[in-house]
Amino acid sequence: MLFKKVNKTDEILVNSVSIVDEIFYICIKNFMKYIERVIKSDFLKRIKLGKVLLLLGARRVGKTFFLNTIQEELKEKFLRLNGEDIFTMDILSKRTRKNYADLIEDNKILIIDEAQKIPEIGNILKFIVDEFPKLKLIVTGSSMFDLKNKLGEPLTGRKYTMMLFPIAQMELRKIQSIVELKTSLPDRLIYGSYPEIFSIKTKQGKIEYLRELASDYLLKDILTIEGVRYSSQMLNLLKLLAYQVGSEVSYQELGKQLGISKNTVERYMDLLSKTFIIHRVSGFSRNLRNEVTKNIKWYFYDNGILNVFLNNFNALDRRQDVGKLWENFMVSERLKYQYYRRMNVNNYFWRTYTQQEIDWIEERNSKLYAYEFKWRLNKKVHIPTLWKENYSNNFKVIHSNNFLEFVS
């Protein structure tokens, strides 16, 4: 089995992991053993008595594998449960001290995967924290919209949240040379950076994996919750968003195209962002008369998933949208970099009605930094006049030759 037996608790509970997880583990272990996730050191430091350490991230970003590596370094006995297993749900539903004491036994750490699947998980964890103050808890989840409700209020002041993303360029840089990173750029723009992608050798195998990932895993939580009745609408929305990456999006226009209300579109977008599929960026403004502020841009967290909904895995020399692929890749990698480096930053785009625009604005320490994304730097790009006159001359073009200093 994937997880070692740590006590006398029913083996189904401790080792409740699907066959898919077993295969996933085998497929990527040769790759992943060479790369250490950026959050590892900080994660280990935050495993504390009487606290819940929450690890969030989309399905298949490597949370299970990451916990396996953490387990190898834990000096204390642990019990690991899978929140998607009906036996786990059943035993945790009996909220008594004796029941939990019999379950925990002499273990010092309790780990619960996919906790959002367990009814009343927030209250369950609060009860455990109150009754077992010398126990350390680690919880993972692949969606924020459930956990926000289930873990929010009951665990106020008792939890710390960390995020795990698809493999970042800053993580790859530890094991690959600059030449290797630049050589593999086309693959990252087309197939993305989910861990298992690195172990699949054929183009068709990568495409099949990504399509299955998008349909069977990333949308799984959304399409099973109450209120999302029509999966076709969600899928069509993602297709529309894929074609509009890097462009401003109108909820009202999307609603017209899909035949649903503006409010429904907003709700779907919120769910997609809370399951780590897409990310929102707002327009920047300090109230200059001709600045565009109301519209929003949306980006995909991973280029491979973006290309699933574009239904296009052609090589870059056969693509007309390389600029958009590059912009989405830079945004997703910069978000990883900002989070892992604990940067206190606000992100925006900037555009005026006179068509002056900048792809990416960062507000850091009361200063503004502007970036333009260009796959190939064929000619000099000048800072827009209005931006320079009113805000800042901190302006840089990020292209395929200098991108590593921006994301790693």
**Model pLDDT for residues 76-100, shown as the tens digit of each residue:** 999 999 998 999 999 999 999 999 9
Tell me, what's the pLDDT at 59?
86
Phi-psi region of 384 (alpha: psi -120 to 50; beta: other; left: phi over 0): beta
Give every CB contact of residue 74 below 8 A, 6+ residues apart in sequence. Answer: 47, 109
| Mean of pLDDT values over 361-378 | 95
Tell me, what's the pLDDT at 3?
32
Q: Round the average pLDDT of the chain to a whole number and report it.
A: 87
Q: What secondary structure letter does DSSP report for 154? A: G
Q: Are 112 and 118 in contact (CB under 8 A)?
A: yes
| Sole residue written with tokens 């819940």 | 52
Q: What are phi and psi of 227, to 5 degrees?
A: 105, -20
pLDDT, tens digit (0-9, with 9 covering 90-100), for 387-405: 999 999 999 999 999 999 9
Compute the distance between CA of residue 163 and CA of residue 99 in angstroms, rounded to an integer.
31
Q: Given strand 136-141, what is the order of strands in its sheet?
A: 78-82, 109-113, 136-141, 52-56, 159-163
Give every CB contact of residue 73 below 8 A, 6+ residues apart in sequence. Answer: 44
Confidence class for position 13, pLDDT limits 50, 70, 90? very low
Which residue, among 66, 40, 53, 58, has the nearest Cα to 279 in the 3D structure? 58
Kind and range of the H or E run holding 348: strand 345-351
Alpha carbon 121 to chain centroid distance?
Answer: 22
Q: What are phi and psi of 309, to 5 degrees?
A: -80, -20
Rg (CA), the chain: 22
